[in-house]
Structure 1
């Protein structure tokens, strides 16, 4: 480790790896620090995206096999959760071959320090490892990429209960007969469906009146209906207040009534908190906001102009944050652009206007662009266009006619072909893939006419991206346009 660098990244998750590798490949001298070699890859590799999607993949295979009875196939037996988790670890290890200290040093040319980092000056860092004395170094700029931790459940008697978060749920090797999930967001829905498909009796307790509160109400309702068909029980508008014993939870509704629920294990998914505690931020002149988050400006810069934040650590940004790995990718893109721009006048502000996300349940929920509440808040005029997949041949073939697409567009004018897309949500199998074309349309300001001019192979699932506009255009052509077309004909 050198005494000075062009840039130091603290944390080797999605944000830290992104900014460190990008700056190194651009020719800068870069140091990346993480607590241990095993934690490189961050929450995404170790406790989040990778293991959860591997688990969902296995649960989907089991679910589809069990549904094959009407076609002459019979499947029996219990899920071997130990074997499932072994598959999950194998997938993680494959990705870990290029997310470890040796690879980063040998292939990317990065300096890597393993240990706990803390500020000892405005641009000076001290790294403490288990096998040596503390070592100090400094940099022109430092990026905090320390991630976040799951919020803990506060309830009487919780210390005597087997409580899991996303950091521990993948260590289970025996399937709980009864799984209680506290929280009704994306993690709760994804893990709840997966464990229900493995064979657990899943009950979801959420304080809000619906699941996925950041989605459109009709999308939340449709997904809840699909999950209830698979046997998941929902107790919404309620909260866990106590655990009378290690296998019983007391829940209280909004009107004050209480009841008890038996369980074998608990998964808590009630939110996340940025990890900034051990950094000794005051030594660098870095302030926190009233929520305990790092205070940032629109350029992800802290109150120390040489220190920035990215990924989950950037929760204090004026634009807010999104706890996704690809949000870290957006932060990295913004930071690298600005670090190479002379003077803040030309710097790019963080914006989520073109941001998208996917909840990987079955059906998936893909949301992108400006949503209805944001459009209303900004006084942007818009129209709502809805398409039910019951009209789509591919949906009929594969039995997902229940699916739905809800899009927000500019108000139509005399030429509906010139209308542009502002945002929307798709709830359907593989919605995350179906929506990619729509996401590009928002970013590149494509029009309805651009979709009309594309010929989709039949019967690809993505034909819905054109089908939604057929009735929209034909029903909204002004009479004067129709008369003009007829006259030309």
Structure 2
């Protein structure tokens, strides 16, 4: 470890890896710090995106195998959860092969320190090695805090009696619970609820909100909940767990005050994320927290210390809002690098989520992007709402997902409907996360309805819906004078 660096990244998750590797490749001297080698890759590799999607992949294969029974194929047997988790670990290990200290030092020529970092000055830190060696001090022109977040803990009476899991340890389960109680109806809770229901658990979801995935459009949440209920998941919404009477009984109270007892074997708590900066000694660097315990940031992800920035989950306190996704870290990194390498240290690129998207990897998937109606109203931006029912799509008919829907928010129609641009929207459908990519690109590059209308899609690709919605819209909104003119020209 050198005494001086151009940049130090504290935390080797998606944000830390992204900013340190990029800056090193640009020719800067960079130090990356994390407590443990096995935690490099952060929540995404170890406890989040990678293991959860591997788990969902296996559960989807099992579910689809059972659906073949009407065609003469029969799939039977109990889920070997230990084998499932072994598959999950194998997938993680493949990715971990290029997300570890030795690889980063050799392949990327990065300086990597394994230990606990804390500030001893505005641009100086001390690293206490994990292996117990003597602490070392170093400094940098700029320091990026990429320290992530942790699962919020549930604090109710009797929880010490219960076998409680979060996303950090649910992937260590070796036996399938007969009854799984999921507390929290956000993306993590709902994704895991469906996966374990498909493995063979009886899953009950308790959520405090009136609907699941309350950040999504109400009709999208309702459609997904209906699909999940058809698979056997039980929902108790607008409810909370008051107490655990013993190791297998939860007392659940509804908003109306009705109390019922829910039996379970294992509890998964997915009620949000929290932040802990105690080890960093932020006061020594003049870094303040907001009233929610998050880093106080400006529009450029800069803390109250002008040489210290944040990225990833650690940037939840940014004025643009909170987006706790691995790809949000990617956006933060690109924003930071753009500003850090601007001549004269001029910060001119503000963080914006106007083009941001996210996917909930249930079946069907929910993919949301851009600006939705609430934000458009808040900004007094005029818009129209377009809906497309997949019951009219040949690919959906062929593969039995006619229930799917697309909802788009567009500019108000003018005289020329071909010139309409997209502002945001949502798709709920199998592989919605893939279908939506073309629409995200359309927003970023201001493509119009005419650009989709004139594109020829191979038949019957699923992404043809991105054209079909515009065919219907233009057909319904072509002014009469245009039709008369076309006929006259003919």
> Partners of 1:14 and 1:144 in 2: how far apart?
12
The answer as to whether partners of 2:58 and 2:84 remain within 8 angstroms in 1 is: yes
Q: What's the C-alpha RMSD, in Å, of the aligned pairs?
A: 0.8
Counterpart secondary structure, 1:485: helix
Counterpart secondary structure, 1:260: strand
> Partners of 1:424 and 1:237 in 2: how far apart?
26
The answer as to whether partners of 2:118 and 2:279 remain within 8 angstroms in 1 is: yes
Residue in structure 1 matched with residue 104 of structure 2 by the alignment: 104
Residue 403 of structure 1: CA displacement? 0.2
Residue in structure 1 matched with residue 18 of structure 2 by the alignment: 18
Residue in structure 2 matched with residue 417 of structure 1 by the alignment: 418
Residue 174 of structure 1: CA displacement? 0.3
Residue in structure 1 matched with residue 340 of structure 2 by the alignment: 339
Per-residue CA deviation, residues 101-148 of structure 1 (Å, 9 max, x unaligned), is 000000000000001111111111111123301111111100000000
Residue in structure 1 matched with residue 442 of structure 2 by the alignment: 441
Residue 418 of structure 1: CA displacement? 0.4
Per-residue CA deviation, residues 168-222 of structure 1 (Å, 9 max, x unaligned), is 1000000000000000000011100000000000000000000000000000000
Residue 343 of structure 1: CA displacement? 4.3
Residue 342 of structure 1: CA displacement? 2.7
Residue in structure 1 matched with residue 27 of structure 2 by the alignment: 27
Residue in structure 2 matched with residue 262 of structure 1 by the alignment: 263
The answer as to whether partners of 2:300 and 2:347 remain within 8 angstroms in 1 is: no
The answer as to whether partners of 1:210 and 1:236 remain within 8 angstroms in 2 is: yes
> Partners of 2:425 and 2:214 in 1: how far apart?
15
> Partners of 1:344 and 1:35 in 2: how far apart?
31
Structure 1 residue 95 corresponds to structure 2 residue 89: no
Residue in structure 1 matched with residue 71 of structure 2 by the alignment: 71
The answer as to whether partners of 1:193 and 1:227 remain within 8 angstroms in 2 is: yes
Structure 1 residue 117 corresponds to structure 2 residue 117: yes
TM-score normalised according to structure 1 size: 0.99
> Partners of 1:459 and 1:316 in 2: how far apart?
44
The answer as to whether partners of 1:85 and 1:173 remain within 8 angstroms in 2 is: yes
Residue 277 of structure 1: CA displacement? 2.3
Q: Structure 1: which 5+ runs fail to align?
A: none
Structure 1 residue 168 corresponds to structure 2 residue 183: no
Residue in structure 1 matched with residue 53 of structure 2 by the alignment: 53
Aligned length: 489
Structure 1 residue 483 corresponds to structure 2 residue 453: no
The answer as to whether partners of 2:183 and 2:268 remain within 8 angstroms in 1 is: yes
> Partners of 1:182 and 1:63 in 2: how far apart?
23
Residue in structure 1 matched with residue 247 of structure 2 by the alignment: 246
Q: Out of 368-377 and 129-138, give the one that drifted further.
A: 129-138
Residue in structure 2 matched with residue 378 of structure 1 by the alignment: 379
Structure 1 residue 404 corresponds to structure 2 residue 396: no
Residue 469 of structure 1: CA displacement? 1.1
Residue in structure 1 matched with residue 309 of structure 2 by the alignment: 308
Aligned positions of 1:74-473 closer than 5 A: 74-129=74-129, 130-343=131-344, 345=346, 347-473=348-474
Residue in structure 1 matched with residue 2 of structure 2 by the alignment: 2
> Partners of 1:449 and 1:345 in 2: how far apart?
39
The answer as to whether partners of 2:8 and 2:142 remain within 8 angstroms in 1 is: yes
Residue in structure 1 matched with residue 41 of structure 2 by the alignment: 41
Counterpart secondary structure, 2:440: helix
The answer as to whether partners of 2:339 and 2:346 remain within 8 angstroms in 1 is: no
Residue 160 of structure 1: CA displacement? 1.4
Residue 329 of structure 1: CA displacement? 0.1
* Poorly superposed stretches of 4+, deviation over 3 Å: 343-346
> Partners of 2:25 and 2:476 in 1: how far apart?
53
> Partners of 1:317 and 1:343 in 2: how far apart?
24
Q: Structure 2: which 5+ runs fail to align?
A: none
> Partners of 2:479 and 2:302 in 1: how far apart?
50
> Partners of 2:238 and 2:342 in 1: how far apart?
49
Per-residue CA deviation, residues 24-83 of structure 1 (Å, 9 max, x unaligned), is 000000000000100000000000000000000000000011111101111111000000
The answer as to whether partners of 1:276 and 1:313 remain within 8 angstroms in 2 is: no
